[in-house]
Homo-oligomer: A and B are copies of this chain.
Amino acid sequence: IPDRVPLCLDLLPALSGEDTTKGFFQELVNILFSYVCKSFRRSSKVLDFHHPHQLRVGLEGFSLELPDQPENLEQLLVDCKDTLKYGVKTGHPRFFNQLSSGLDVIGLAGEWLTSTANTNMFTYEVSPVFILMEEVLLRKMQEIVGWSEVEGDGVFCPGGTMSNLYSVLLARYHFFPEVKTKGMTALPRLILFTSAHSHYSVKKSAAVLGIGSENVVVVKCNDRGKMIPAELESSIVTAKDQGCVPFYVNATAGTTVYGAFDPLNAIADICESHGLWLHVDAAWGGGLLMSKLHRVKLQGIERAWSVTWNPHKMMGAPLQCSAILVKKRGLLQDCNQLCAEYLFQTDKHYDTSYDTGDKTIQCGRHVDVFKLWLMWKAKGSEGFESQVNKCLENAEHLFDKLKERPDFELVFKSKPEHSNVCFWYIPPSLRNMPPGPERNRRLHEVAPKIKAKMMEQGMAMIGYQPLGDKVNFFRCVFSNPATQTEDVDYLLEEIARLGHDICIRIETDL
């Protein structure tokens, strides 16, 4: 250990850098452990909000600027503390803002190991264990989806949007393999179908892949946010009548806002009769497959040609962990391979079918599988099942509470199918106001105001949005096993308290 303040040059690989490195890791882990403990403590804030311009100027000596000269290790540890201090505790039991939440200690351990191993998923020679773990995980997930032993392929990718993009890419290649070399100009006008409540990644994929976002037909949903099969059928017929070529349908298992499940079997029937690729975006709903009680909501998913499933959402894996599962073996490879000789040499001494990198649209690929593999070992399939069930119980608890209260209104009356619960807080002045544009105008402003105040106070976090003809409403989602019914109750009281104060203030101002 040097006799001045240590710098990073004193760490390994420096000669006799082991002690300094050990001490540095120890201090770092203390900081991280203390953050983990705080994340789970209800007395901690979820966030300590500052505006961008406030953080930019360097709050309390926390400077973001990049120096020419090194800082010492002590200062770096202070920087680490500050980074966490001004961030958001997404593992806090009262963080309801995103479909991904929670802080799984085993998953975290998996990430720490992954980054220590610091390797790439392209070839078996540099990632022997992780490549095999990916195979084992994909196989398991395909089994759970319900595919037979001779079906099934897939890859983990950087997020659900990329997984959905793969599905469109593969469907296009399946029907028109010449697109790989000739491009879209060699093809007829292709049409995709997805529901009005589906994720925007289907449109994004169409834009990126050169299909064009206008060629995505948005199919109507019922009040509950489920695609109406008859609407799909008639949209397909209309597209054909216009001389276009329908080729792909995205059905959603767990929509982003309502948590709705499209009727997969009815949609699969239509896809079959028209010969279309059926993709199921189960990024959010896939977790329910782990539950004997809830997997019935995804009945028919085994008929999909491809499935997106994000274990980083309902299964609580750290970000990112998303799989695209593909029924037809070999298609990923055919669609994407370019056989780069510097990476995928065919004269290697091992079975090069394990060099899976040429299946992907990436070259280097982050190891996203180990954390999930370790979590599966730690919990077993049954552990995931309990987690999922618990999240859905929380949703039901919230739903039951909301039904009872005069100061809240549900966006739809039926019991939640997933863990999403959508509702308005109704300020006193609107409670007796008749429905109509004026009430809507005022109600639309309530959720953003409450959320702003909530973020400033930092005790909870929840999302809101408008959707279709519904003005801004809150969407509560549960994916954090740390959340208890007391947190759900707290959230409602907090919204009511903030909402009441804000609305009193606004009305006094008027």
Contact = CB atoms under 8 A, between A and B. Distances in A.
Contact of A364 (B26, B320, B347, B466): B320
A342 B24 contact: no
A52 to B, nearest CB: 5
A33 B22 contact: yes
A379 B67 CA distance: 8
A117 B90 contact: yes
Interface string A177-207: 0011111111101100000000111011011
A466 B204 CA distance: 38
A175 interface: no
Given A11-B105, A13-B93, A464-B345, A100 B383 contact: no
A336 interface: yes
Contact residue range for chain A?
Answer: 35 or more
Given A88-B128, A180-B212, A319 B118 contact: yes
B35 A88 contact: no
A51 interface: yes
A291 to B, nearest CB: 13
A265 interface: no
A119 interface: yes
A342 B476 CA distance: 12
Given A52-B132, A165-B361, A186-B212, A29 B18 contact: no
A338 interface: yes
A159 interface: yes
B373 A66 contact: yes
Given A12-B37, A185-B185, A347-B472, 11 more contacts: A21-B37, A26-B29, A52-B354, A53-B351, A70-B380, A88-B125, A119-B319, A160-B363, A161-B364, A181-B213, A183-B184
26 contacts: A11-B106, A21-B33, A21-B37, A25-B109, A64-B136, A66-B136, A70-B379, A70-B382, A76-B378, A87-B127, A87-B130, A97-B126, A111-B112, A160-B364, A161-B361, A183-B189, A183-B210, A183-B214, A183-B215, A203-B338, A204-B361, A208-B361, A342-B463, A343-B465, A345-B472, A348-B448
